[in-house]
Structure 1
């Protein structure tokens, strides 16, 4: 087995946005590929993004990098705030710790550290909302935007609730596990079960193997999740975006309603929506070829435009 196959990611490095340090790495492969930055969801670290998917993306001509959001993984974790419950954080009029603009600027700090003048963005869940905000705030640094299982990037507070299945979110916040590695693994398996498509049997062995590889307290750190979800957006509406945009969403998503994808696609000019049958709030292996093919087509369409925003 080759060295790159054994260790497909570069050693972790850190970008800086003010006092916040952001852990990132790159997938081994040709440096000449088109830059693609992967953006993770609420409470999960960058290891959650499947290596197999990243291998396919590299084979399709992308140079792939990923990073931990602030308050996630190996990136800077901020001090506790008054709101320690993600559900409650949705109702607040402002974030206590930082803004959504700060989180968008984190992505740009990572691009700067990678020496990428611009990049395609693929954001999953919270990462999808952040990807939209990065394109709004830094349009010249973004080539294309792909969101998956995300809400519109310009909604906040009570307006977000129309897209979220509160029953699932409540179950998510009620999960209690010890602050140990074993607790993190058990929490990851429980979260994976909650977010999987009910249309297919849940593979607990596979979920546990993934949890063992990505064990992190973020999946049950409600303080960190509250700070992330409470970060408020003060910028413009997504309707002004002019980037090629792809909106992916699991047809069986038990957390974010597919109407969120409909709203994003309806408001961003020429955005394309694709519902993924048999997919929940997740990135299961059977859907990887579809995701990669769609991103490749989107990037090719961007190359044909000539001029970016």
Structure 2
């Protein structure tokens, strides 16, 4: 396994990569903001901030500390991390209120589009000596009514056994543990990967400073990231967790939902674990 400790991943480097990915995604969006909507949201946000200041009698020393911290968030490129960890789960909750199919969860800052296309049964790109327990992740993609969705697209990405994501940490192959799996004619897929481990969000930057100051922990439970889509249906972005895993009940990102917890069993051939999880997509 490549020794990624020889060139340590930093919050600033990870943040810069996440910021660049977000900017690339935003370039494809052309929708203009509604002036009245912006006025309403920003006014209420500022009003809530003013209320906090008054209720807690915030001092100038505390105000200046906040300004310095906000500046550092930008310098470290950690706005994507901050927003995705502490804000996105509520935005996702609102977006999914009327969805009947599979529950969604946050995308997080480490998604990269256009991962290699793989067949319905495939092994994610990984190093020859990739650490971790082998995992067979299999299932079927259907519509909400149960009709199979042929050639559904299952995008999957995850951290390695050390908690690092390819393209956001040094020493990892470009597409390590990332792939776009095309389900078969019955919507079935079988993905061979490794079972991820819990990991800390970066703590050497501004977000870590906040975590220490507030006395929080920085851990996320082990999880698989997925985007599942099919023509004529709504794309679902979600994360899947593992029963009994650390931090499932205390996720720093508040993104765990009971419906998204997997219960792996020992694989039939004894080589690691396997789990089945089916996706139901809402009509577009």
Q: Same fold (TM over 0.5)?
A: no
User: Which range, TM-score by smaller chain?
Assistant: under 0.3
Higher normalized helix content (fraction of residues): 1
Tell me the TM-score normalised to structure 1 length.
0.25
Higher normalized strand content (fraction of residues): 2
- Higher Rg of the two aligned structures: 2
Higher relative CO (CA 8 A, sep ≥ 6), structure 1 or 2? 2
